[in-house]
Structure 1
Amino acid sequence: MIGVIDTEGDCAEWTFPAEPGAVRAARAAVRDRLRGWGLDSLADVTALLVSELVTNALRHATGPIGVRLSRPTAPLGVLLVEVSDSLPDPPHALAPHPDDEGGRGLQLVASSSRAWGTRPGTGGKTVWFELAVPG
């Protein structure tokens, strides 16, 4: 992990180097923070989706990868998760053949989240998704 910013408040933010260990480190950081916030029920799905987006960033971009969580402020709010990288081009959801080994990450994000999208950022893009907080 290159850096950590404010993991105690309503946001947690990390920067990971563009190397294979980033996926494991991002999953662990996300799980740990969600448990710290009392959002254990979202830890596994959030870690899985972050893992998919960090893996995409490793495959297609260069440079550090940012991960940011924003805790819901209302009891029935949403958890906002963002993964940023240096590639300005938005990702494209593929329609992989049943025998393909990859290409399902964005489909998984889309089907498992309340909403998702991309936005341009300084020197790259951010892919975000929202998860409903169980009541």
Structure 2
Amino acid sequence: MPETEPWEYSLYIPNDPRAVTICRRTLRLILTMHGLIRLVDVAELMATELVSNAVRHTKGPAALRVRWSVNGVLRIGAWDADPSPPEPPRPFTPELEGEDGRGLALVRACADVWGWHPLSRFGNRGKYVWCELGAAG
């Protein structure tokens, strides 16, 4: 049974492609322990795309943030130190070849809602790209 109390986790990672796998496996464990196993597959895909973008397109550290709200919404987000907006998602079509450029299109297609915003706090800059999945999903 999923939890009714809110919770939030943050995993800070170096700029290292191996961190994407660590984030995905950590997310699977978090959701399983909180009784949200039915969201694992889609949540892993979303987190992989968001964290991959943060690691691939920036030079600094990044973070995976996962939050469960009392209204049954799972928010998955990736922070990175680059305040530049993410590239807009290209239309997702089966004809797209290669692996690059499809991440945010997948997020847009699978998430209930997604977005991003720049951050500036305590002298730190960057952006936060997020998506939400409803528990009914």
TM-score by length of 2: 0.84
Number of equivalent positions: 125
Return the structure number with greater relative CO, CA threshold 8 A, min gap 6. Answer: 2
- Aligned with 2:131 (options 125, 129, 132): 129
In the alignment, which residue of structure 1 is the partner of 2:86? Answer: 91
Post-superposition offset of 1:89: 1.0
The separation in 1 between residues aligned to 2:117 and 2:33, in whole angstroms, is: 28
In the alignment, which residue of structure 2 is the partner of 1:113? Answer: 111
Q: What value does the CA root-mean-square deviation take over the aligned residues?
A: 1.7
Give percent identity, aligned residues only: 38
Where 2:96 maps in the other structure, the secondary structure is: coil
Is the counterpart of residue 57 in structure 1 residue 59 in structure 2? no
Post-superposition offset of 1:99: 2.7
Gaps of 5+ in 1: 1-8
In the alignment, which residue of structure 1 is the partner of 2:28? Answer: 31
Q: Verify the 8 A CA contact 2:50 2:77 in the aligned structure 1.
A: no
For 1:31-50, what per-residue CA distance to the aligned partner results, in whole angstroms no more than 9, with x for missing partners? 11011110001111111111
Q: Verify the 8 A CA contact 2:10 2:65 in the aligned structure 1.
A: yes
The separation in 1 between residues aligned to 2:82 and 2:90, in whole angstroms, is: 18
Post-superposition offset of 1:107: 0.4
The separation in 2 between residues aligned to 1:35 and 1:42, in whole angstroms, is: 9
For 1:87-115, what per-residue CA distance to the aligned partner results, in whole angstroms no more than 9, with x for missing partners? 11111213586234321100000010000
| One-letter identity of the residue aligned with 2:73 | V
Q: Verify the 8 A CA contact 1:26 1:67 in the aligned structure 2.
A: yes
For 1:39-68, what per-residue CA distance to the aligned partner results, in whole angstroms no more than 9, with x for missing partners? 001111111111111111112112111111
Is the counterpart of residue 12 in structure 1 residue 14 in structure 2? no
Q: Verify the 8 A CA contact 2:17 2:56 in the aligned structure 1.
A: no
| One-letter identity of the residue aligned with 2:106 | L
In the alignment, which residue of structure 1 is the partner of 2:64? Answer: 67
For 1:64-91, what per-residue CA distance to the aligned partner results, in whole angstroms no more than 9, with x for missing partners? 11111111213xx211111100111111
| One-letter identity of the residue aligned with 1:94 | R
| One-letter identity of the residue aligned with 2:130 | W
User: Any runs of at least 4 consecutive aligned residues in structure 1 with deviations exceeding 2 A, and if so which?
Assistant: 94-101
The separation in 1 between residues aligned to 2:131 and 2:99, in whole angstroms, is: 24
